[in-house]
Structure 1
Amino acid sequence: MKRNERIVRILVVGLGVCLLGTSACKEHKPKREVSETEVSSAVESPKLIVLAGQSNMVGGGNRSNTDLPESYPNITYINQGFSSGLKRPGSHSFGPEQGIIQQLKKKFPKQEFVVYKYAVGGSSLYDWLPEQDSAKVAEMGHPKFGSLYDSLLKYLPKQLEGLILQPDAFLWIQGETDARFPQAGEEYHEGFKNLLQRFRKDGGNPGVPVIIGQVNPPAERYPAALAVMEAQSKMTSALPNVKMVSLEGISKREDNLHYNTPGQIEVGKRLGKMLNSILE
């Protein structure tokens, strides 16, 4: 039975309770139609969880090597993930959303969620900034990506089955590309702060909680790795309601950059536990 049908039945039963109660309730009363507004207000809107970032948020886990279910009751997953070549990952590919969803189901088995992911592999923070600097995008980003911030908002789901959606959490894994450039590392903090402030304004929830999965690319190949990591860490005190989750010690592929199949699940598990603590 669909959600709205369940609630209509509950409301109709509730309106008819007095017919079975005291004598005072036995007076004939005109039958009243139940409006769609009443139905919507009687149903708690699904919680909207937004995931964004680059390749480790897109994910490279292989579903065929796991026993992950194809879908989860009460959770709608919307995947707008792309590789650096702007191609959609294969049907067996998954990212940290799987671990996140598992944690949500464990903590909130009856709550409905919409998990929306917009992530692009290889993207720099310059690609994500609401006000892009075309010269810096050309030097340290990817002009072919266009404005990822505009796309994030464009595909942000606004309704589900007539119920209004607003972001209840924003989860971010990104920074490895910026860690290649000392200038990008130096500018990461202010740029990321601007991005979060704008999303809180434009996304419809000025106080939306933010969870950062702190990147950890190998410093010997990424000269600004420590600068990006420090910038992400500082964000927890620069803005209210921002949390950071360490992703250290999670298994990766041979490139020591991208998480492997069990690693993707563990990344999601860590983020999901932090998310649960915020939502409870």
Structure 2
Amino acid sequence: MRTLVVICNLLICCIAFSQNKSNTFKLFYLGGQSNMDGFGYNKDLPDSLNTNFDDVYIFHGNPAIGGELDGGLGIWEQLKPGHGEGFSSDNEKNNLSERFGLELSFAKKMKALFPNDKIAIIKYSRGGTSIDSMAYRKPGCWEPDFNADQGINQYDHFLATLRNAFKDHDIDNDGMEDVLVPEGIVWMQGEADTDTKEIAERYLFNLKRLMDLIRASLLTDDLPIVIGKISDSWDNGDKVYPYEELVQYAQEEFVKMDKNSDIVRNSRYYKFSDRWHYDSQGFIDLGSSFAEKLYGLIIKNSNK
């Protein structure tokens, strides 16, 4: 009888331990406009990226234009190709597309750099979106105080994405609670803020304010940020982004001012699939480059 009591007590302890046990995921947010959406073609992927990623999960908020009510809806699932342009989601199913963005090579590189860690990615981006409300076009803008479109802007869709992502406490469905620890922000945007000199000259202020708000939304001061430097395709020999140089200058100034940020400049060498978007190889290189830069910031902070 005494042995039975001991065994029962041990079982109770084991059950209690398993119920309290949790998994920790390194969490990264990916945001911006269409070159964050991703215009690479899945058919161009190498075998190493055309796969389901072990221990990597993604919550991809449904991309919506300003004013729509379904922005940020989604579910967690194992990362695989199809989270590029044409992706959509609701609270029940992800509808994968034939395209990919930088998330695949980003995840592959991060897993190589953190082989013993689980990775979680929250992605919300929308093509054609500016930060500045004066550059507003139909897809909307990220200006938090912009009150057109029923008062729903892209920053609101971002917040909805976070709310929906953090509702799920078991993102890999293994029966244990998951803890998401924010580790960094990846931002690929700026092309839509090049329309006029006045708008482009405000980009530094707008970028800093938005990044501070995203950091605050993730409840982490000085969370590492890596931004992608925009580039122009010079389609048919003509500039696509009139005041591109001013936004590029603002991006460089941002990383000079913010000591916990860095910038990826590789895009100047990428080929384009159309007037606005990199080709498949460009997105593959972009994701790896973002991961390397972000890893450098994470390691630098851990050594302080």
TM bucket, shorter chain? 0.7 to 0.9
- Per the alignment, residue 27 of structure 2 pairs with 48
2:273 to 253, 262, 273: 253
User: CA separation of 1:130/1:83 partners in 2, compared to 1, >3 Å: closer, same or farther?
Assistant: closer
- Per the alignment, residue 21 of structure 2 pairs with 39
SS in 2 for 1:71: coil
| Superposed structure 1 runs of 4+ greater than 6 Å apart | 83-87
**Is the aligned partner of 1:216 residue 2:231?**
yes
SS in 2 for 1:180: coil
User: CA separation of 1:244/1:144 partners in 2, compared to 1, >3 Å: closer, same or farther?
Assistant: farther
- Per the alignment, residue 278 of structure 1 pairs with 297
- Per the alignment, residue 124 of structure 2 pairs with 118
Please give the per-residue CA displacement for 1:168-217, whole angstroms capped at 9, x wherever unaligned: 11100001111122221011111111111112122211121100011112
Q: Which amino acid aligns with 1:65?
A: D
Please give the per-residue CA displacement for 1:73-131, whole angstroms capped at 9, x wherever unaligned: 00002223638799833622100111101111222222101111100000011311222
Please give the per-residue CA displacement for 1:127-170, whole angstroms capped at 9, x wherever unaligned: 11222275xxxxxxxx5893111211221222542223242111
1:172 to 187, 190, 193: 187
Q: Which amino acid aligns with 1:201?
A: A
- Per the alignment, residue 235 of structure 1 pairs with 254
The 2-side partners of 1:178 and 1:39 are apart by 46
2:286 to 253, 264, 267: 267
The 2-side partners of 1:145 and 1:82 are apart by 17
Q: 1:15-30, aligned counterparts within 5 Å?
A: none
User: CA separation of 1:57/1:102 partners in 2, compared to 1, >3 Å: closer, same or farther?
Assistant: same
Root mean square deviation of aligned Cα: 2.8
Q: Which amino acid aligns with 1:52?
A: G
CA contact (8 A) 2:182 2:218 kept: yes
User: CA separation of 1:195/1:277 partners in 2, compared to 1, >3 Å: closer, same or farther?
Assistant: same
Please give the per-residue CA displacement for 1:29-61, whole angstroms capped at 9, x wherever unaligned: x64623467413xx4x10111000000000111
- Per the alignment, residue 42 of structure 2 pairs with 63
Structure 1: gaps of 5 or more residues: 1-26, 135-142
The 2-side partners of 1:260 and 1:65 are apart by 10
How far is the alpha carbon of 1:71 from its aligned partner?
1.4
CA contact (8 A) 1:48 1:169 kept: yes
TM-score w.r.t. structure 2 length? 0.71
Q: Which amino acid aligns with 1:191?
A: N
The 1-side partners of 2:44 and 2:32 are apart by 24
Q: Which amino acid aligns with 1:236?
A: V
User: CA separation of 1:264/1:84 partners in 2, compared to 1, >3 Å: closer, same or farther?
Assistant: farther
* Equivalences, count: 242
**Is the aligned partner of 1:128 residue 2:134?**
no
TM-score w.r.t. structure 1 length? 0.77
Structure 2: gaps of 5 or more residues: 1-5, 69-84, 88-95, 133-140, 171-176, 300-304
CA contact (8 A) 2:27 2:182 kept: yes
Identical counterparts, % of pairs: 25
The 2-side partners of 1:262 and 1:160 are apart by 35
- Per the alignment, residue 55 of structure 2 pairs with 74
The 2-side partners of 1:170 and 1:203 are apart by 10
CA contact (8 A) 1:79 1:118 kept: yes
SS in 2 for 1:165: strand
The 2-side partners of 1:88 and 1:224 are apart by 28
SS in 2 for 1:82: coil
CA contact (8 A) 2:225 2:261 kept: yes
